[in-house]
Amino acid sequence: MHIAAILRIVPDQNEELEIDDSGADIDREWIGLKLNEFDDQALEEAVLLKEAAGARVTAVALAGDGAERQLQTAIARGADDALLVDHDIDGIPGARAAAHLLAGPLRDLGADLVLTGVQTPEDVFGQLAPFLAGLLGWPTLNAVHGVSAGAGGLEVVQEYSGGRAARFAVTGPAVLGVQTASRPPRYVSGSKLRQASSATIARAAGALPDGFAAPRIAALAEPARSNRAEMLDGDAEAVAERLAGLLAERGLLGGRE
């Protein structure tokens, strides 16, 4: 089994996000970047599969800010190889463009299982895993939280709303949009990271089909603040006292009747 784990660098949405002068993108000048949290889970699941059942894991990223460092980190975490896919898009490719750019290099790589995160904070025009599946002609499962190797292939757990889930046997090549790995992503020591910083990163070229037109956001806006909460002022003690009082008034504290 050859697993490709696709990694994407995204803005840290926990930071303050500002709309840039164009009005259609965030100001990326100073925003912190990080590995997409679901890609982190996908990489972990790929390495867990390798450890449990034997597989070759190639970490794959599109060229861009921080991509090479993430690939090196992936090797420190247990990936065998790294592949950086070059492209000539100015800016950050959306998921649909990314799928076109990656499909050819993934075919050339010979990967028979692709794992990536189920979504990113900014994939407003669709998600990478199912776009890739559509282009490769492979089945896809998304909102995946657990992949294990069984007798006849892989067993994949897919989540639905309300705490429901289903198990599927995957008997051929597939693209999985991972939500949660079977175990939380592992810690990587500084020495392993230093060791991986000299790892060789292979390169490939991605291409868009002729006439590909990337969808664009017309405008970004802050959400309407019409139903804003009534804010409790003061320090933690004052807030705690006020809240305890509010809840007691409503009969929402103490033992249940």
Partner 1 sequence: MKVLVYADVEAGQPAAVARELVTGARALAGPGGRVDLALFGADPSAAADMGVDRILTLPALAAAPYDPAAHAAALSAAIAAAGPDLVLMGYTTAGLDLGPVVAIRHDLGLVSYCQTARAGDGAVETESQIYGGKLIARAATPLPALLLMNVGAFAEAAPAPGQPEVVTLEAAAPQGLRFIDATAPDPDAVDITRADRLLCVGRGIGEADVIEEAQEVAGLMGAELVGSRPVVDAGWLPKERQVGKSGRRVKPALYLALGVSGAPEHIEGMGEAGLIVAVNTDANAPIFDHAHYGATVDLTDFLPAFRAALEGR
Letters for 63-92 (x = contact with partner 1 by CB under 8 A, - = none) are ------------------------------
Question: Is residue 33 a contact residue for partner 1 (CB under 8 A)?
Answer: no
Q: Per CB under 8 A, which region of 55-63, 75-83, 197-205, 245-253 contacts partner 1? A: 245-253
Q: Nearest CA to 81 among 5, 10, 147, 186?
A: 5
Q: Which helix (H) or strand (E) holds 155?
A: strand 153-159
- Decide: is 52 part of the binding site for partner 1 (CB under 8 A): no
Asked if 180 touches partner 1 (CB under 8 A), the answer is yes
Distance from C-alpha of 87 to C-alpha of 103, rounded to nearest angstrom: 13
**Min separation Cβ 172 and partner 1, Å:** 4
Is residue 27 a contact residue for partner 1 (CB under 8 A)?
A: no
CA distance 189 to 86: 29
d(CA 127, CA 49): 23
Bridge partners (DSSP) listed for residue 116: 177
108 binds partner 1, rule: CB under 8 A: no
Residues 190-219 binding partner 1 (CB under 8 A) are 215-219
**Nearest partner of 61 among 53, 51, 70, 50, judged by Cα:** 70
Identify residues 148-177 at the interface with partner 1 (CB under 8 A): 155, 158-174, 177
Of 111, 115, 133, 196, the one binding partner 1 (CB under 8 A) is 133
Q: Min. distance of Cβ 206 from partner 1 in angstroms?
A: 16
Of the candidates 218, 215, 145, 214, the one whose C-alpha atom is nearest the C-alpha of residue 182 is: 145
| Least gap, CB of 77 to partner 1 (angstroms) | 16
Task: Answer yes or no whether residue 13 interacts with partner 1 by CB under 8 A.
Answer: yes
| CA pair distance 131, 180, nearest whole angstrom | 20
Q: Does 135 bind partner 1 (CB under 8 A)?
A: yes
CB of 38 to partner 1, least distance (A): 9
If binding means CB under 8 A, how many residues of this protein chain bind partner 1?
Answer: 92
For 5-69, the DSSP string reads: EE--EEE-TTS---B-TTSSSB--SS--EEE-HHHHHHHHHHHHHHHHH--EEEEEEESSTTHHH
